[in-house]
Chain A
Amino acid sequence: MSSEAAAPVAAPNRAVGVVRALRRWESALVVILIATLIFGTAESPNFLTTTTIFFGGLDIGQIAIMALPLTLIVITGEIDLSVAAMLGLSASVFGYAFAHGTGVVPAMAIALAVGAAGGSLNGFLVTRLGLPSIAVTIGTLTMFRGLAEVVLGQSEVTNFPTSLTKVGYAPIFAHLAYPFFFFFVLAVIYGVVLHKTPVGRSLYAIGLNKEAAFFSGIRVNRTKFILFALSGVVCAFAGIVYTLQNDSAIYTAGTGLELNVVAVVLFGGVSIFGGRGSILGVFLAVLIVGLTQVAFTLINVSAEEQQIVFGVLLLLSVLVPNSAEGYRRLRARVERARRTLPAAGQT
């Protein structure tokens, strides 16, 4: 977050470093996560059981997977609202190909290729034509969903091989659901790329100042294009997982999830203006959202009513860092006034 940008300025001593670390939004997320765990265990004895962990991971899986590519895109100052529609299109194409006897692996390959093509379309429109990504991806969101409907219509494809549909009911080791496991693996990869490689650092540079990044030799457009194409592929993958875990391909898969994905990313402390955010933050946000869902469901708060909590958390994620910043600025101003006032009085 802010420390990312300010890092090269000086080598701060350890105490300052700790304070700075505590000020990061991620620390607030850890506190919220602990609060969620305490709340959940206090409210229901069934909270921290293997079953709830499994189903929690199953429910949050798709949103979590799609949040990763979106995080990188938002860090570069763009946005991709077509993620959930791509999930639906991928599910449709996957189902259609499978129903027409291509076999399950080629069907997956086709769905992933469609994801790459759709993502590249976004990337092309944003980087080559210079169109605003928010408008482009609202357009492709509508278009992908429409195409999903054209491909599969109202029909449903089912009876996928049981060796694959077990992602929906069998846990992988340690009671983790497959979708969450996929998310975890991808999160590690994304985290390493974003935080430990020059490419990752260049994403922050693009988000903070596109022109400066361009003049320091970063291929801004090519990088963004790759991010959009990759987003298409990852969302297509999420669509395949979704289809397999439900053993059902329908064109409405994931309808309306795009705003949830955006909300999770923003709640994770990624700045909507770009240049700020971390995979750790998004990972914590996914855990919090997943666990609150589980906790509220256990105490019979409906999914719709949980939206209030989610909305408030989202609002806090922008209000808290902002008001902390405002408070610091105010204190600096008071400090300055105090220093200059006596001097002015003497003259």
Chain B
Amino acid sequence: MSATASSEVVVHAAPAARGHRVAELISRYRPVVIAVVILVIFGITSIKNASFASSSNIQGILSIGAIYLLLAVGEAMVIITRNVDLSVGSTLGLSAFTVGEMFNHNPHTQIWLVFLVGIGIGIGCGLIIGLITTLARVPSLVVTLAALYIIRGFVNIIGTGVQIEPTVIPHSFVSLGYSTVLGIPWLFIIVLVVALAAAYWMRAFPAGRELYAIGSNPPAAVLAGIPVARRVITVFVLSGALAGLGGVLFLAQVATVNSSAGSGYELIEVTAVVVGGVAIFGGSGSVIGAVLGAILLQVINQALVAAQISAFWDSAVAGALLLLAISFDRLVSFRASRALVAKEGVTYVE
């Protein structure tokens, strides 16, 4: 599904139906649409509960949800190449636990070292997954599913009989989890820097653009001389690194960690990324969209609480939202392909 390519053809083609053009616009400016939806939810919820739009509440949403946003960046890059990374939750857990253990052994561990180790663990996991996926040519779904279990198993081995008490975690490290700069939580600044860097890389650098080519048509990408294996390994390493960073931030945020830290994140991340407009079979979407998708899920979660609607509805709404998002994408691509058939006489469009 190359949304950009088909939209160009349609623009040249002719005055298509108005409904079509609106759908096309919404699909092209997906991040903007999601941002608008987020604002609307804010508006409606603050009518019911004025404190919802307060700066402290917004700060809370951005810093509590920061780790989900961070992982969504990596997951988006992986999914854009028509792969999937189900191991992020376990990698996060491994990183968080190892780092916690470092503080357990020496509460005066340097903080930069902690970050280095956490990210290093993530890079290691991502590298192994990327190598297995590309060298053995096995589907990443299976490899990362296996990695989910294996890495979680290691977390449990390390974690048996180990308690990481908040008292051993240095205050300067924990303050990272809640302190703000100019009213913006540190955690969110990190997410912002990472997301913007990733977005810039995927827009402006050949290597980043190639991820889209790989995701739209893997065999064609090989024929075009793109080093597919190297790029796929890169995205898994990046996704792992972000999960590792997420683990460090997780510890900073909650100041304690148990062996199930990060369990179940994988499907939440995939949901956020797809809601954010990344096609599940790759080739289109953006990391900014994915981050906004993750924010939207967080905002809905908090809005239900603030509006005193039972939080039980949270999952039901999130699931319905995902179905709505993919149905909409399908509608747009169906209309685009029909317009192509009508205008250009193309008989088969994927």
Cβ of A153 < 8 Å from any Cβ of B? yes
How many angstroms between the C-alpha atoms of A304 and B139 in the bound complex? 25
The answer on a CB contact under 8 Å between B271 and A307 is no
Binds A, one of B66-74, B152-160, B194-202: B152-160
Partner of A319, one of B138, B151, B263: B138
Cβ of B238 < 8 Å from any Cβ of A? no
Residues of A within 8 A of B310 (CB): 150, 153
The answer on a CB contact under 8 Å between A146 and B153 is no
Known: A130-B330, A304-B156. A143 touches B320 (CB 8 A): yes
Partner of A311, one of B153, B267, B271: B153
Residues of B within 8 A of A318 (CB): 136, 138-139, 142-143
Residues of B within 8 A of A311 (CB): 146-151, 153
Residues of B within 8 A of A129 (CB): 327, 330
Cβ of A246 < 8 Å from any Cβ of B? no
Docked complex: A287-336 residues within 8 A CB-CB of B: 302, 304-312, 314-315, 317-319, 322-323, 326
Docked complex: A275-294 residues within 8 A CB-CB of B: none
Partner of B330, one of A131, A145, A256: A131
Min CB–CB distance B269 → chain A (angstroms): 10
Partner of B146, one of A125, A143, A312: A312
Docked complex: B301-343 residues within 8 A CB-CB of A: 310, 312-323, 326-327, 330, 334
Known: A272-B141, A315-B132. A138 touches B312 (CB 8 A): no
Residues of A within 8 A of B141 (CB): 272
How many angstroms between the C-alpha atoms of A274 and B309 in the bound complex? 42
Min CB–CB distance B332 → chain A (angstroms): 13
Residues of A within 8 A of B271 (CB): 138-139, 142
Known: A150-B310, A319-B138. A131 touches B326 (CB 8 A): yes
How many angstroms between the C-alpha atoms of A317 and B327 in the bound complex? 34
Min CB–CB distance A249 → chain B (angstroms): 16
How many angstroms between the C-alpha atoms of A259 and B317 in the bound complex? 22
Most buried by A among B86, B142, B148, B149: B149
Cβ of A136 < 8 Å from any Cβ of B? yes
Cβ of B259 < 8 Å from any Cβ of A? yes
Residues of B within 8 A of A307 (CB): 149-150, 152-153, 156
Known: A136-B326, A143-B320, A323-B136. A302 touches B160 (CB 8 A): yes
Cβ of B228 < 8 Å from any Cβ of A? no
Cβ of A238 < 8 Å from any Cβ of B? no
From A304, which residue of chain B is reached at the shortest CB distance? B156
Cβ of B64 < 8 Å from any Cβ of A? no
Cβ of A187 < 8 Å from any Cβ of B? no
Known: A143-B320, A147-B316, A262-B145. A272 touches B139 (CB 8 A): yes
Cβ of B121 < 8 Å from any Cβ of A? no
Cβ of A62 < 8 Å from any Cβ of B? no
Cβ of B227 < 8 Å from any Cβ of A? no
Residues of B within 8 A of A214 (CB): none
Cβ of B10 < 8 Å from any Cβ of A? no
Q: How large is the interface on A (under 10, 10 to 19, 20 to 34, 35 or more residues)?
A: 35 or more
The answer on a CB contact under 8 Å between A131 and B315 is no
How many angstroms between the C-alpha atoms of A141 and B319 in the bound complex? 7
Cβ of A161 < 8 Å from any Cβ of B? no
Min CB–CB distance B107 → chain A (angstroms): 27
Min CB–CB distance A73 → chain B (angstroms): 14
Docked complex: B254-289 residues within 8 A CB-CB of A: 259, 263-264, 267, 270-271, 274, 280-281
The answer on a CB contact under 8 Å between B330 and A259 is no
Partner of A146, one of B147, B267, B312: B312
The answer on a CB contact under 8 Å between B145 and A305 is no
Docked complex: A116-168 residues within 8 A CB-CB of B: 125, 129-132, 134-136, 138-147, 149-150, 153
Cβ of B12 < 8 Å from any Cβ of A? no
Docked complex: A207-243 residues within 8 A CB-CB of B: none
Most buried by B among A125, A139, A312: A139
Residues of A within 8 A of B18 (CB): none
From A325, which residue of chain B is reached at the shortest CB distance? B137
How many angstroms between the C-alpha atoms of A273 and B319 in the bound complex? 25
Cβ of A93 < 8 Å from any Cβ of B? no
The answer on a CB contact under 8 Å between B281 and A132 is yes
Partner of B316, one of A146, A304, A312: A146
Residues of A within 8 A of B323 (CB): 125, 131, 136, 139-140, 143
Known: A304-B153, A315-B132. A138 touches B314 (CB 8 A): no
The answer on a CB contact under 8 Å between A132 and B326 is yes
Min CB–CB distance A205 → chain B (angstroms): 21
Residues of A within 8 A of B320 (CB): 139, 143
Cβ of A112 < 8 Å from any Cβ of B? no
The answer on a CB contact under 8 Å between B142 and A138 is no
Residues of B within 8 A of A138 (CB): 267, 270-271, 274, 322
Extra A-B contacts (19), CB below 8 Å, given A145-B319, A262-B145: A125-B327, A131-B327, A135-B280, A138-B270, A139-B322, A142-B267, A146-B312, A146-B313, A150-B313, A256-B264, A307-B152, A307-B153, A308-B149, A308-B153, A309-B153, A311-B147, A311-B148, A315-B150, A322-B138
Name A's B-contacting residues (CB within 8 A): 81, 125, 129-132, 134-136, 138-147, 149-150, 153, 256, 259, 262-263, 266, 272-273, 302, 304-312, 314-315, 317-319, 322-323, 326
The 10 closest A-B pairs by CB, nearest first: A143-B319, A146-B315, A146-B316, A308-B153, A311-B149, A142-B319, A311-B150, A304-B156, A139-B322, A307-B153
- 11 sample A-B contacts, Cβ–Cβ < 8 Å, listed by A number: A138-B274, A141-B319, A142-B267, A146-B316, A259-B148, A272-B139, A307-B156, A308-B149, A308-B154, A311-B147, A315-B146
